[in-house]
Structure 1
């Protein structure tokens, strides 16, 4: 098949792949710039990007602003001609401040999910930064378009549709995750395309759909592009690369993962999440709250008194390879990853495969 360019306004990605944002610290400037240099859209995670800074535990708020600023500048420096995005979860307690930082640093595009980013157009107005909500249904896509149209006279520059097989926090109930027939990515993409039609007609412009969740190879990509998506989002495939910002131990957890190791957990933020089973998860869910874990107040929905563990702390520990105190989120097809390679090799393999389909 012919490989389409992904056009988001005046942004044109030669490779129609958006690298999904992965926190904490899995996709920072190193991974994002590598993807951008290969023609895709590289994405920095906005979840606790200052976790490695010396003043993080003294002044977490400032450290995260400093961390995001640093990684946007670094990614732009490493990929001067590439497209750099930031993924900022609506559920973050410092959501608005992080968006303002991204806009100030002139990031190319902000992706925002884990809730409905109703204030995003207001925070990004009068800037060249594109904004793209992440949705899991046609209903949510319609709601966001309706609200943005009515309140801001603005439509999303793109919409990311994240399906049931994605890694990390998922916008579905456990029952929906098990209903493969009614909640396939292809079906959700078609529902979203239908839901946004009236808004596209009103504004006389197309909203590109970027779809992801469990995509692993060229055939997966071809199927989603043929269902009407303009591009795809891929995250898990980019973890086992030399350029990924995670520790070697984190990458090894992906390579070692078997299909039966992939599980759905209930995250402290009240959403299901897809993770790789390990001893930390077993202990937490069988024996209760571990000792010595303090809440670092990162997410709005989290209630420290009721949660079994601090999600941010667990992900920071895992990023560093300390799996006794943390775990790794991953997509449904992580078990298919067999070795560490480069971002360029991953993208070349996918694009060559597409050409031959």
Structure 2
């Protein structure tokens, strides 16, 4: 399993840990993944809610906690670290500026199209910034739109792109009707996005890795999706049931105790479908029950907090703290496959072994896709 190259940044293994919020992937998990040779990612979503007294000034708490978590992770690793940012955040600009000012290695930008960039970031000159910028998209069309915009407006293109397919956990970039019907396979999305990116690679004479996400759980999955042109994978679900994951043990147990039939879709208050593990709370909200919302600050641009049945940020924070009767666990389609809690190093060992086994088997069988070992 060869390295991932993003410009002048070399990552030992082509494995990116998904940025999971609220408070699921913080400095503990991110530093462990970075030490193992992948990209460890801190989720910025709702991060300030872990700061004492956050309700007095949530934007300030968000910025303060992001700085704390980046520096805490840096103290534990010399590896590659990233921050996952939602474009839908009301303080997206400020959080992106903060991550860049902290010299984070990479920023993943999803939950919306990251067309515009903060002026303070542009003023630095994108080519002069250490941070690599990586949008997350759910379609080749979205990738093309972003690359065209950056090319025309900034004379710069994203350093890589993540294509997140329909089998991912959390908020999804697909309509619920699409998720319940026939949707494109991740392999198809990857192939088409590789073609989209190639035009811009040629123009800028640089390699732009396409990173696959959603439903990838084993080394064999990695080998297969890389045979379609992916340069790396992003995995969230696989890293939840690790000792180093920052979530409460009750959150991890929800994975360990789940069955395939428990993985379900909900309508999130922010207007997107979300994939979760069914529990008592999920059944309650599907039955139309509501929870009073005491919103200290509108953290998501699109959230109509006066009308929503519950606060998604508070519910996710409850879950991260182990209060599963008052929340739920976001999870990918393979969450039920988790049977034990492992270390991050054990997960990497298994991924590398099963990747090698898959590539050896592919090379041994006529007509199989051949993937470099």
Secondary structure of 1:313's aligned partner = helix
Counterpart of 2:266 in structure 1 is 265
8 Å CA contact retained: 1:28, 1:45: yes
Inter-partner Cα distance in structure 1 for 2:206 and 2:178? 32
Moved over 3 A (4+): 291-296
Range with greater deviation from structure 2 (276-285 or 151-160): 276-285
Question: Which of 13, 19, 42 is residue 21 of structure 1 equivalent to?
Answer: 19
Q: 1:313 to 1:98 in 2, by over 3 A?
A: same
2: CA distance between counterparts of 1:98 and 1:328?
Answer: 25
1:305, distance to aligned residue in structure 2 (A): 2.3
- Residue 121 of structure 1 contacts residue 131 of structure 1 at CA under 8 Å; is this kept in 2? no
RMSD: 1.3
CA distance in 1, matches of 2:280, 2:2: 43
Structure 2 SS opposite 1:145: helix
Displacement of 1:197 in angstroms is: 1.9
Q: Measure, in 1, the Cα distance between the counterparts of 2:118 and 2:310.
A: 34
Q: 2: distance between equivalents of 1:329 and 1:46?
A: 16
In 2, Cα distance between equivalents of 1:158 and 1:317 = 33
**Secondary structure at 2:325's aligned position in 1?**
coil
Corresponding residue to 2:58 among 57, 60, 63: 60
Alpha carbons 2:269, 2:312 under 8 Å: kept: yes
Q: How far apart are the structure 2 equivalents of 1:193 and 1:179? A: 25
Alignment of 1:170-185 (within 5 A): 170-180=172-182, 182-185=183-186
Larger CA deviation: 275-284 vs 158-167: 275-284
How many residues align structurally?
A: 353
Counterpart of 1:289 in structure 2 is 290
Supply the distance in 2 between the matched residues of 1:225 and 1:323 (Cα, whole angstroms). 36
TM-score by length of 2: 0.92
In structure 2, what is the Cα distance between the partners aligned to 1:200 and 1:121?
Answer: 24
Q: Find the aligned partners of 1:97 and 1:294 in 2 and give their Cα distance.
A: 20
Check whether the contact 1:133–1:158 (CA below 8 A) recurs between aligned residues: yes
SS at match of 2:151: helix
Match of 1:95 among 92, 97, 103: 92
What displacement does 1:121 show? 7.6
Q: 1:326 & 1:240 partners in 2: Cα distance?
A: 18
Asked if the contact 1:176/1:183 (under 8 Å) is kept, the reply is no
**How many angstroms apart in 2 are the aligned matches of 1:8 and 1:24?**
27
Partners of 2:13 and 2:271 in 1: how far apart?
35
Tell me what 1:303 maps to: 304
In structure 2, the residue matched to 1:40 is 38
**8 Å Cα contact 1:296/1:313 also seen in 2:** no
Question: How far is 1:89 from its partner?
Answer: 0.5
TM-score by length of 1: 0.96
Q: Which residue number in structure 1 is paired with residue 364 of structure 2?
A: none
Q: 1:304 Cα shift?
A: 1.2
Residue deviations 1:277-301, cap 9 Å, x none?
1111211221331236546421111
How far, CA to CA, are the matches of 1:321 and 1:294 in structure 2? 21
Structure 2 match to 1:12: 10
Q: Is 1:194 the equivalent of 2:192?
A: no
Q: Tell me, yes or no, if structure 1 residue 105 matches structure 2 residue 102.
A: yes
Unaligned runs of 5+ residues in structure 2 are: 359-373
User: 1:26-77 CA deviation, whole Å, 9 max, x = no partner?
Assistant: 0000000000000000000011112221121221111111100000011111
- The residue number in structure 2 matching 1:148 is 150
